[in-house]
Amino acid sequence: MKGSHMFLCLLSVSCWLNWMPMAGNKIFDFGPCRVPMTMTEIRSGFTAIKANIQARDPIRTLSILSHPHSLHKIQSSNRCCITYHLLNFYVVKVFRHCKTEDPYVNRKISSIANSFLSMRRKLEQCREQNKCVCGQESTEKFNQIIANYEGLNVTSAAIKSLGELDILLDWMEKSP
């Protein structure tokens, strides 16, 4: 009898731990899609290299992500779509062109890129279920970001975008 109570107790604790998010994970709502993210890990990686990356940015008068309110006031229904496109943008265009001579910085960039890949895969599942619909607003905002990016040479644009990662992270953490 005593053994069965111990078994039930251990089973309950085990189930409870499996339902809890892993340390550092938080569930984010992007419209109809919910995505677990390790924001503390991403933020600490970015914080470790932020000064180094921003010091490499030769253009201080232009912003790629915050050009007149690129990410502000996006409706909840468009958050999934633009988040997916931004994660893809960072994976395909930004991280690939942000190689430095510093192996520590490159490792941090790679770690952030891997986190973005994981989140992008989860949003891709939402897209496959037609939960992540792209409206006109998200398309226009994303096109503005791409235009800002493509207005610079590839390396400068990638460095600037990586240096502005805190703008994206802040926006992602704000719940509508």
Q: How many residues does the chain have?
A: 176
Q: Is the pLDDT of residue 172 over 60?
A: yes
Please give the span between the terminal C-alpha atoms of the chain, in angstroms, as a whole number: 51
Q: Is residue 13 part of a domain?
A: no
- For 52-78, the pLDDT digits (tens) are 999 999 888 888 988 656 777 788 888
| Domain total of the chain | 1
Q: What is the CATH number of the domain that holds 61?
A: 1.20.1250.10
Q: Which domain holds residue 133?
A: 23-173
Q: Is residue 18 part of a domain?
A: no
pTM (2 d.p.): 0.81
Q: Is residue 5 part of a domain?
A: no
